[in-house]
Amino acid sequence: MERLVKLASIFSDINRLKILGLIVRDTELCVCEICDTLELSQPLVSRHLRKMREAEILTSEQKGKWVVYSLTTLHDEILECWIKEINKNFVSLPILVACDIK
């Protein structure tokens, strides 16, 4: 039940859903790509990413001076259900504004 509540909290915010959608669509992203693509401030995006890491939805990896975020490999049925729904809504996501790390 705790996992369900934690995921419900994450998915109750439109910005977190958009962030997750971008990461699912583009595999891995750094904070600057998310900020620039969604036109959100860096502190706000970092807070959302921290919550999603704490909920074990995302993982992060240091690549040079950037931290890159990707979907966790610890999937469960609830997360899989949300990912399926997010996949159906890719067309509503903005085009990625890529940074120089790739």
In this structure, what CATH number is given to the domain that contains residue 63? 1.10.10.10
96, amino acid identity: L
Q: Is the pLDDT score of 24 beyond 60?
A: yes
Structural domain span for residue 34:
2-89
Measured in whole angstroms, the distance separating CA 16 from the mean position of its chain's CA atoms is 6
Q: pLDDT tens for residues 58-86?
A: 999 998 888 999 999 877 888 888 888 88
Give domain status of residue 102, yes or no.
Answer: no
39: in domain: yes
Whether residue 14 is contained in a domain is answered as: yes
pTM for this model (two decimals) = 0.89
The stretch 11-17 carries a mean pLDDT of 94
Residue at 7 is within a domain? yes
Q: Answer yes or no: is 43 within a domain.
A: yes
pLDDT band at 101 (very low <50, low <70, confident <90, very high): low
Helices 2-11 and 14-26 pack at an angle, to 10 degrees, of 90
